[in-house]
Chain A
Amino acid sequence: MNTTIRSTTLENLLAACDRLANKYRTFAPTSEDGVTGFRPLDQMTKEQRQAIEETAFANKPTVGSIKSFFFPDSEIYIKFSRQGRKVEQMELEGMGPQIILGAKPCDIKSVELIDKVFLAEPVDSLYQDKRQKTIVVATVCGEVGEGCSCREFGISPVVAAADLMMQKGSGDEIILTPETAKGEELVKELLALGSFAIAKPLPLSAGDTAVDQLSAEEVQNRMDELFNSPLWDKLAMTCLGCGTCTYYCPTCHCYDIRDFNRRDQGVRYRTWDSCMFSNFTNMAGGHNPRPTRSDRLRNRFFHKLNYFVKKQGELACVGCGRCAELCPVGISISSVLKEIGRDVHVS
């Protein structure tokens, strides 16, 4: 039985989250120096706090996606110190539970796609721990945003499978409808604070049928045909080989393992890596299976539109539009989909 609750204003909800700070750390989308992203409530300026509503209910995702809550850009997993030849590992303090307010349907879907990799055997415990300890509160988009193509990837901008759904009620009201046990538990705690009222859930539009959804099968086959196409060399000619598209893509999950040490102590950590860098595959002996930018660019698009389909059965893209917006030279998933053509949609 999920009890929908109503908050008079978003600020009232934020104040409630502040009061729960000893149990949950709450993050919300806002903007800093003109760049949108998630920031903890306890480190926000007044202006940033006021910008939450507009960013959370905008029809477009933030520049930084929620991927970094589960797969952070850098994460220490071994801390050690060395006495002579003996190496001793130190305890790492775990992470407390956290709330993400205002995740978009496309970002939520991208986390589900990464789940297929990190939660498969052998389970990545660092990722799993964060997934279990995070409550995701979704805010849907009214309709497809200007740079977005979520519908093409079977994602409806008005439906999101999250722990809680946050919608705008009448006027400034905020309606919260739990969809999972975690969501239910948070609603209970919010009710206990006394500043919320039980309410009737808003009708969740069923989301229109998959109007022009791409068929993973068709796209995969079409990509196989395009393997030796001159498209890759053409795109690679203007590609800069930087890491923007991979670091900001919500479904990219490649990582590097590095060591940092100073004299007798140090850490081993995992950090984001990009298949667009040549060091990604460059080997100690000097052999590099993907030596040119064209190889790497082809590999990146193949992973999203072909390899991931073969391994996991779905396209590894959620149509969030970040690659189109952030690539300095305008290369994006649509540069490839344009080449693939129209006849690959679900009939």
Chain B
Amino acid sequence: MMHESFEPKLVAFCCNWCSYAGADLAGTGRLKYPENIRIIRVPCSSRVDASLVLRAFQNGADGVMIAGCHPGDCHYDTGNYHTRKRMVLLKSVLEFIGLSSERLLVKWISGNEADRFQATVESFTRELKQMGPYEKARDLRCAK
């Protein structure tokens, strides 16, 4: 059941050195990607811990994406190793508590992969539209 009118809110934590550069390149390259995305620039994908992801869902995000450098390319050497270790565990917790872990997407996107950034945002937005609005982890005192 597709929610035609529903426009999902997608919060993307983009690592400054790779994914943010990729998103920037997509922009300068006139590659269109859905404007549902709200990009938050982080020094490294490992800056994002469980509390930031949950805070995004609390504030009404329908999907959270963490985009970092490909393992091995991290500007800080081991940053994305921590990210993948932490996020696979967070996804398990979300799943165990019934909070639909597929709304948390982790993707490695390097500085020159503008098309990969565009494709990821498009597919994730489509999936989120399919899943519909996300209420399970939202703080009900603030509007969507």
Contacts and interface: CB of A to CB of B under 8 A. Distances in A.
B139 interface: yes
B143 interface: yes
Nearest to B58: A262
A267 interface: yes
Contacts of B60: 262
A81 to B, nearest CB: 9
Q: Count chain A CB atoms within 10 A of each CB in B59, B60, B141 and give the residue with the most.
A: B141
Interface in A70-90: 76
B142 interface: yes
A265 interface: yes
Nearest to A260: B141
A266 interface: yes
Contacts of A261: 142
Contacts of B142: 260-263, 265-266
Contacts of A263: 142
Contacts of A266: 141-142
Interface string B55-89: 00001100000000000000000000000000000
A266 to B, nearest CB: 7
A76 B59 CA distance: 18
A265 B142 CA distance: 7
Contacts of A267: 141
A87 to B, nearest CB: 16
A153 B82 CA distance: 58
Interface in B103-144: 139, 141-143
A243 B108 CA distance: 44
Nearest to B142: A262
Contacts of B139: 260, 262
A196 to B, nearest CB: 40
Interface in A263-301: 263, 265-267
Contacts of B143: 265
A267 B139 CA distance: 12
A262 B59 CA distance: 7
B21 to A, nearest CB: 28
A324 B5 CA distance: 56
10 contacts: A260-B141, A260-B142, A261-B142, A262-B60, A262-B139, A262-B141, A263-B142, A265-B143, A266-B142, A267-B141
